Structures are given as structure tokens and as C-alpha cells.
Structure 1
Amino acid sequence: MLSIHTALTREPITFMRHKHHSISVHFAQSILKRAVEVGLDETRLLTESGLSKALVNNSEVRITPEQLSRLMQSVWRSADDEYLCFGSQSSRHGVFNLMAKQVSHSASLRQVYRRGTRFYNLVAGATKLKFEEREQYARFYLALDKPELDPEHVLIDFLLLLWHRFPSWLIGQRIPLRKIGFMHGKPAHHEEYRLMFPCKVVYEQQSNYFEFEHDILSAPVVQSQQSLNDYLQRCPLDWFKRQSYFPVYTRKVLNYLEAAQDMSLISMADIAEQLHTTIRTLRRKLLEEGTSFQELKDSVRRDEAIHYLSQPDMPISQVGRLLGFTEAATFARAFKSWTGVAPSTYRKSKSH
């Protein structure tokens, strides 16, 4: 990891260097609830994913991308259904791999979407996909055959995420979304959409869709068969890794914070100076982007804390020091304000 001096003297980078972040437990709760409804073994799913019932039952905590990925893989295997039992018909485990290998031979992003939607419409009866080109933009539509089976919108969220991130990976660049629309109203977990979908979000639409600029449809597929094989081995983990699709000032501040070895040494004044602006201007820019320096700093500390607390051999006091807290009690209060539970409670809940 870069030192604070190095981080503040280099040009801001486009992609995040740090890998530690967290996800709302909402998704795990909904997946497990449905799994139990269809008769899957909850204890087995929790064990295979590295989660505990106590952790999942606390709606205020957050989990790691690895935990959510393992949970989904466990459901895929146990139910033989990549639609996580939220569809009117299953999409058997391995269908995505077959589609991915077929579309990887496409010449362009346009072909990826055309071939991918055609493939799923032939083999997966629970969903109806549609790809539409207009003069200025393109749209990808997703409809569930029986949306009432997905009351928490987990399958909708997951599939729209997949159909944005996987094609982006194939062409080696982010597909810049203009807008994403949902048929449902604003859900309780809507804050997660800011990380999942880097664009304007609208609700209560006539269909579920996202749209992007037409010009990128000509972008060529750049991944090799070997890189695809490696990618498929990691699925679905890469879809949940936080993407660096943030507004410009939010992204720059996060880059500096995530590169710092000791966040207690970095201040808003330091970052403003390196960005050749004033504290007042930086504060205003972040406010316009819907965030603040303290909020970003806390989010980085929170996600780092969750990662370190997942390491059973690391003392809690050491976790606090790594995050810039000189007193264990101060760290404990901060962690509880971020997650709703004390660090010791969080760690204990992971082991029961």
C-alpha cells in the first residue's frame, strides 16, 4: 500500500487500488429467506458462505463481497439455479458460463448484447431480455415472468448489475450509463444503488432498464479465452467488487484515502492542496456530488474495519490503530455508529 506522502504527490488514478469494501446485508437476508422458503439447508448455506445467523439477522451490519459471492455460489449449487430461486423457472447452474463463452467471440459490444439477450430468451423462461438501439443511446430491458417471486428486487438488481458489468469487462472499459429505471418504488436499500449503478436512478417506470451512449456499441471485445476462464472461476465475486464509477471529486478523494497507510495523518486540507483547490471549494464540490469528506473517510474506515475484523487473529485494538484511532474505545464507538454493533459483537457473530 502506498504511503500518505506518495498518495498525495501522484496524479489521481482512474481505478481504485484498494480492494476492501462492504455490501448491505439486505442481499444476503433476502437470498437466505428465499432459500429457506424453497427448502434449502440454511445452516449449510451459512457455513459455506462464512456467515452466521446472528450476523445476517442484524439488518444494520454489512458483509464482504466474498461472503455474498460464496452465498450465491452455494445457492447456485444447492438449487441448481442461477436465478437464486426468485424466478418462475430455474436458470440452471452453468447457463451463464455457456452464454459468456458464446458472446466472448463477438466482434463488438453490440454483438455481445444481441447474442446475450437472444441466448437467455431461448433458455431462461423466467426472464425476458430486450436490447434496443436508438439514435443517441441504447437500452437494455429486463422483465421477470413473475415479479411477485422477487419482492425485495434481488434478482432484478443482480441481473441488471451483471448485464452492465460483464459486458464492460469484455470490452475492457466501463460502459457509461446515462440512466437506470426500475418498475418498483424506491426500496429501503436504495443507497446501495449509488455504488452498483453509476448514474441517475428513476423508479416506478413501465419497465426495468438501463441506457447508455450509442457510440460505445462499436467497442471491440478485448478479453481472451484464458482471461474469460479466469473470470468465470471468480464469478460472481467481480460483480460485487466496488467499481470506481464515482463522480470526479468523490473518486479523487477516495483514491487518496484508500492509498493512505494512516488515515489519521490525512486531512481535507491535504487533499484540497493536492487537487489545487481550496477546502471550501472541495467541500462544495463533494456536496454537489451528494457526499462529504467525513462521510467518505468513514466509509473507507468502515469497510477496512469489516475486512480486518474478518481476520480472527488480528486484535481489535490493532484494527483500531491501523485505521487511525489512538484509543480502542473511540474505535468501538465509531464502529458501532457505522454498523450498529460493537467490533467485538461483530467478530463474535461471525463465529457462531
Structure 2
Amino acid sequence: MRHLVTTPTTTPTPKRPRDPRPLRAPAAAPPAPRTPRGRDNERGTIAGDLVEEALRCAERRGVERTGLLALAGIQPAALAAPLARVSAAQYGRLWSAVADALDDEFFGQDNHPMRRGSFALLCHAALGSRDGAQALNRIAGFLRLVLDDLQCKIDIDPTRVRIRLADTGTETRSPRPMFVYATAFIMIYGLLCWLVGRRIPVLAAHLRCPEPAMSDEYRLMFCDAMFFDQPASYVDLAPDCVALPVVQTAATLKVFLREAPANFIVKYRNPDSLAARIRRKLRQSPPVDWPDSEAVATALNMAEATLRRRLKQEGATYQSIRDALRRDLAIARLADTTQTIAEIAHALGFAEPSAFHRAFRKWTGVRPAAYRGMHTGVDPDA
């Protein structure tokens, strides 16, 4: 993961060995600008509750949130809504800022800190694997070296590949918070998917912790089949992932690390997947002109049933792609343009502004005008 420097400096420390981390931000970096429409927005958005989880990890170690939010380019007021969302790029910057502030890429959630640069070394260790099975075992072995309280174990059989997230020495005590298991899974799964160049279907997830309030958001990261208050924590992947060859190289690793973790923090997206092709196709035309699934299938030279089946294998549906893209376009337009709300509603294909208002409140918990005010500092009722 790349990291952002939280303490400004004017000159580099002499004779310091080269840091194995990916690229660092310039010292005394100003607050990042709002994310523009386009490439970053294609990666989706993250619930404000997950932002709060990351901030709490820092606050427990004495790091206040104001500076972290500034580095991430997140306005504090934007987190006030019950269903607030930020871009994956913003959350990725926050993730890196917290890791930098704590010198711990596991956010202080283990007795042994995962020092800065550990994820980059993990990537290098797994890069030389021949296939998914060897990559998973190398990932698990590396994490056993850098974490004390959470142990990753790989169990492979013909029906599934199980990633066990064992609370070392505490299986009979209280379970860890959900964010601990999610942090580990995001790193393991995101790296594995990148190594083999595709999104691997997640079959089921069993967690020891109680069901969190934001369980729907975690289901986006894991899968729909999530079960809580379980005897043990593990995630099952589709079994064919172990035979997939590792397709990445040292050259592609540089790009991956430069863009991590925003490039896999929602869920790894294979740029060559069917879902990605459909997203790119939809973005080429205004939402009012988006075709139905039958027309998309025809344009892609496949039967509609084939399109549905292949999207299901990738953990998506055509309607979910449309809905998520329309939501993210709405968020970006409100934050980054001066278009009126009526103009945005029309551009997104809503017949009436009132329909857009209802949809946006469902997505974020606030009115479009209120959301815009959170990002611009302008009171919508003034």
C-alpha cells in the first residue's frame, strides 16, 4: 500500500536506507482535492461507517482525526449523514494515512504492528508464485510472521478454498471486531485476485463476531452468504482459484502498489471482466440512453442468459451495475459540479426530481442538497 506522510519535513534524513514502501506523498501535502468524475469514481464508493472504523483505530492510539481526514480529502461534515459515502480513492488515502500515522498497516489491531512497507514485501513474496495455491500459502506464511493475534491458514479441498482467520490463543474468549477480520480479508483477497488477474467468487463467510450494524456494506466486500456469531472465522472461495496461474510481473506490481489500496478496497475489479466491460460501455452514453440487459448482451455477442450467468460468477448483476454507477455519478456530480439538482436528476435518467430525491435519500440517508452542502460547506437552507 502507498502511504501518506503525516509529519511535514523540509529535508530528507541523511543516510536513511531506502524504504521498501510504494510511493510516498510529498511532505506537508495539502488536503487532497475532491475526487473528480472519471477513473476513481469507477471504483465505487465506501460507507461512512467504514471511515469511522478506520478513524477509531487511529484515535485509540492517540491520533486525532482532523489531520487524517484532511489528508484523505474528506470533509468532516460529509460523515454526518447516517448513510454517508466517500469515494474508494478517498478511503484508500485515509487507509494509507492511518497506516503512516501508526506505522502499522494493520491499524493497531494486533499486538505486533505490521510495519510500514510490509504489504509491499508481501506482494514481492507472493509475486513469484506459480499459481493461486502457492500464492495463498505464501500470503498466509508471511502474515504469520508479522501478526501475533490473528493467524491465516489455508485449507483446500475439491469443493472450496478456505481462508481461516484464527484468533490465536483466544478462540475461547471474545471474538475480535468485524473490522479486524475485514482488514485481513481485504489484503489477502485483493492481492490474490490481482495476482491471478480476475475476481474470484466468494462462496461464503463465517465470522465469530456479532453481526455489525453495517453488515450490508461488509456483504459488498465479502459476499451475500455471511454468517455471524459462528464458532470460527473463515471465508470460502471458489475451488478453481488454486489452479489459476499468476499472471502479474514486477512491472505491473509497481502500478498495483502505486494505486493500492483504492484499487481493491471495495472489491478487486478485473479490468478485463464482463462487469468492467459493461461499466465502460454504460459510461460511454448518458444514463437516459442506457440499454436493457438484452440489448447489452446482443452488443457483446452473447445470449442474455449467458450474460446473467457470467455476471453471477463475478458477483454482480446487470441491475446492480446500473444502480451502483448511477449512485456514484450522482455523488460525484453533487460534489464536483455546479449543476442544479433538477439538471442532475434529468442527466441521470430520472423522470422527475422527486424520484431522484427519493433514490438519493435511499442511497445516502440525506437530501441531495444537504449532501452537496456537506461537501461545499454551504448551508442548503440558507
TM-score range, shorter chain: 0.7 to 0.9
- 8 Å CA contact retained: 1:84, 1:155: no
- Normalising by structure 1, report the TM-score: 0.78
- 8 Å CA contact retained: 1:23, 1:65: yes
The alpha-carbon distance between structure 1 residues 233 and 133, as it changes in their structure 2 partners (threshold 3 A), is same
- Equivalent in the alignment of 1:59: 82
Secondary structure at 1:43's aligned position in 2? helix
- Normalising by structure 2, report the TM-score: 0.72
- Equivalent in the alignment of 1:7: none
- Give, in angstroms, the shift of residue 76 of structure 1: 0.7
Q: Hey, what's the Cα distance between the residues in 1 that align with 2:113 and 2:65?
A: 19
- 8 Å CA contact retained: 2:209, 2:230: yes
1:169 alignment partner AA: W
- 8 Å CA contact retained: 1:178, 1:212: yes
The alpha-carbon distance between structure 1 residues 251 and 100, as it changes in their structure 2 partners (threshold 3 A), is closer
> Higher helix fraction: Structure 1 or Structure 2?
1
2:207 alignment partner AA: F
Secondary structure at 2:336's aligned position in 1? coil
- Give, in angstroms, the shift of residue 259 of structure 1: 4.2
2:181 alignment partner AA: I
Task: Indicate yes or no: 2:50 matched with 1:34.
Answer: no
Task: Indicate yes or no: 2:288 matched with 1:264.
Answer: yes
- Give, in angstroms, the shift of residue 222 of structure 1: 0.9
Q: Hey, what's the Cα distance between the residues in 1 that align with 2:295 and 2:280?
A: 7
What is the number of equivalent residue pairs in this alignment?
Answer: 325
Task: Indicate yes or no: 2:233 matched with 1:223.
Answer: no
- Equivalent in the alignment of 1:233: 258
Name which of 205, 216, 222 aligns with 1:197.
222
The alpha-carbon distance between structure 1 residues 323 and 109, as it changes in their structure 2 partners (threshold 3 A), is same
1:10-37 alpha-carbon deviations (Å, 9 max, x no partner): xxxxxx9981522211100111123222
- Give, in angstroms, the shift of residue 176 of structure 1: 2.8
Q: Hey, what's the Cα distance between the residues in 1 that align with 2:87 and 2:236?
A: 29
2:190 alignment partner AA: R
The alpha-carbon distance between structure 1 residues 345 and 100, as it changes in their structure 2 partners (threshold 3 A), is same
The alpha-carbon distance between structure 1 residues 347 and 31, as it changes in their structure 2 partners (threshold 3 A), is same
The alpha-carbon distance between structure 1 residues 239 and 256, as it changes in their structure 2 partners (threshold 3 A), is closer
Task: Indicate yes or no: 2:156 matched with 1:137.
Answer: no
- Equivalent in the alignment of 1:209: 234
- Give, in angstroms, the shift of residue 105 of structure 1: 0.9
Name which of 126, 131, 136 aligns with 2:149.
126
Secondary structure at 1:112's aligned position in 2? helix
For the aligned residue pairs, the C-alpha RMSD in angstroms reads: 3.7
Task: Indicate yes or no: 2:346 matched with 1:321.
Answer: yes
1:89 alignment partner AA: H
Q: Hey, what's the Cα distance between the residues in 2 that align with 1:100 and 1:123?
A: 14
1:140-168 alpha-carbon deviations (Å, 9 max, x no partner): 111345796953x1121122122122111
- Percent identical among aligned pairs is 25
2:287 alignment partner AA: M
- 8 Å CA contact retained: 2:196, 2:248: yes
The alpha-carbon distance between structure 1 residues 52 and 314, as it changes in their structure 2 partners (threshold 3 A), is same
- Give, in angstroms, the shift of residue 264 of structure 1: 2.9
Task: Indicate yes or no: 2:198 matched with 1:173.
Answer: yes
Secondary structure at 2:153's aligned position in 1? strand
Name which of 116, 130, 140 aligns with 1:117.
140
Q: Hey, what's the Cα distance between the residues in 1 that align with 2:344 and 2:323?
A: 14
Task: Indicate yes or no: 2:338 matched with 1:305.
Answer: no
Q: Hey, what's the Cα distance between the residues in 1 that align with 2:132 and 2:265?
A: 21
Name which of 64, 70, 81 aligns with 2:93.
70
Name which of 92, 95, 106 aligns with 1:83.
106
- Give, in angstroms, the shift of residue 101 of structure 1: 0.5
1:115-173 alpha-carbon deviations (Å, 9 max, x no partner): 1111111222232111122343321111345796953x112112212212211110112
Q: Hey, what's the Cα distance between the residues in 2 that align with 1:129 and 1:136?
A: 20
1:64-95 alpha-carbon deviations (Å, 9 max, x no partner): 11111111111011111111122233211111
Q: Which runs of 5+ in 2 are unaligned?
A: 1-38, 378-382
- Give, in angstroms, the shift of residue 109 of structure 1: 1.4
Secondary structure at 1:239's aligned position in 2? coil
Q: Hey, what's the Cα distance between the residues in 2 that align with 1:241 and 1:291?
A: 16
1:261 alignment partner AA: S
- Equivalent in the alignment of 2:115: 92
The alpha-carbon distance between structure 1 residues 252 and 32, as it changes in their structure 2 partners (threshold 3 A), is closer
Secondary structure at 1:320's aligned position in 2? helix
